[in-house]
Amino acid sequence: MKAVRFHQFGGPEVLMIEDLPDPRPGPGQVRIAVRAAGVNPSDWKKRQGLMDEELPQTMGHEAAGVVDEVGEGVADVAIGDRVFGFSVEGAAQAELAVLSYYALIPPSLDFPGAAALPAAIETATRALDQLGVVSGSKLLVNGASGSVGSAAVQLAVARGAYVIGTGSPANHEYLRSLGADPVAYGEGLVGRVRALAPDGVDLALDVAGSGVLPELIGLAGGPEHVVTIADFSGAQEHGVAFSRGDAGRAVHALAEIGGLIEAGRFSLPVGRSFPLAEVAEAHRVGEGGHVRGKFVLLVG
């Protein structure tokens, strides 16, 4: 099969399309003929050598496609089913991928739309679970218009929370469509949030990592009410929880999202799609940071 791999760290030009052996699913896993695979900011960090030191490396943690082989003990899906999920081996940007966590694709969703979901909804759900967001919670999401931020807004609203989301003025109408009250980020943020919530908020989620943890702590009444997924050093400095997948993934999000999508209560736009062979260009555009929505690679 053809797959994305690199043999040295560096810019997008190090990414290659290579022929690799077909993977086989182990117990509880399924193999899919990949139709689309998600592209994430962690991909360029990995490519730059900021995550793993081993070489060579494959790419991709999320994909959607059609089941073509099942491992021992798999009884919840069958060959021919459309599924989406996670490749724990980080090898989803390929013609074939083994998924360790998966769910059926909601009927109304196409393969690119499904491939855009796993990382964003798992990350958002994990952070909301850690914060304890429930019906009646007042939640501030810093960086609400990106894929994880917009997922967090919609999932929190679905739980019955009141959500304030920070974003650039150009994204405010979008945030309103997700169910959040928008505020501009930057200087004066605290005052703008208090205009909507005079007593502050119950909880705050930092998705943007823009150095505002002290302000979030003040608005939420203490560091124990704040979680960040983007500011590791700030979390250490200010005593805030840093949410990371290796502490336990919220994979229950995969099975739960279908109902919200079919009810019209959740959507995650695909910003751009690229053929698998143009993965380097996807990295170049993605690192530029000017496109709203998730990037996906199309396979087959």
Confidence of residue 95 (pLDDT cuts 50, 70, 90): very high
Evaluate if residue 258 carries a pLDDT over 70: yes
- Non-local CB neighbours of 188 within 8 Å, separated by 6+ positions: none
Listed by start position, the domains of the chain span 2-116+269-298, 121-246
Residues 210, 238: Cα–Cα separation, whole Å: 14
- 162-166 sheet: strands from edge to edge: 181-183, 162-166, 138-142, 203-206, 226-228, 241-242
| Matching CATH number, 121-246, of 3.30.360.10, 3.30.70.2860, 3.40.50.2000, 3.40.50.720 | 3.40.50.720
Task: Read off the amino acid at residue 210.
Answer: S
Which residue in 113, 149, 147, 122 sits closest to 37, CA to CA?
Answer: 113
pLDDT at residue number 190 = 97
pLDDT at residue number 246 = 65
Which residue in 160, 166, 158 sits closest to 140, CA to CA?
Answer: 166
- Percent over 90 (pLDDT), the chain: 89
Residues 193, 200: Cα–Cα separation, whole Å: 7
Q: What is the mean pLDDT of residues 236-240?
A: 96
Q: What is the mean pLDDT of residues 287-299?
A: 84
pLDDT at residue number 210 = 86
pLDDT at residue number 66 = 98
Q: What is the mean pLDDT of residues 83-102?
A: 97
Evaluate if residue 201 carries a pLDDT over 80: yes
pLDDT at residue number 99 = 98
Q: The whole model's pTM is what?
A: 0.94
pLDDT at residue number 16 = 97
Residues 77, 71: Cα–Cα separation, whole Å: 11
Which residue in 66, 70, 75 sits closest to 115, CA to CA?
Answer: 66
Domain 2-116+269-298 is found in CATH 3.90.180.10: yes
Residues 253, 156: Cα–Cα separation, whole Å: 13
Work out the mean pLDDT of the chain and round it to a whole number. 95
pLDDT at residue number 35 = 98
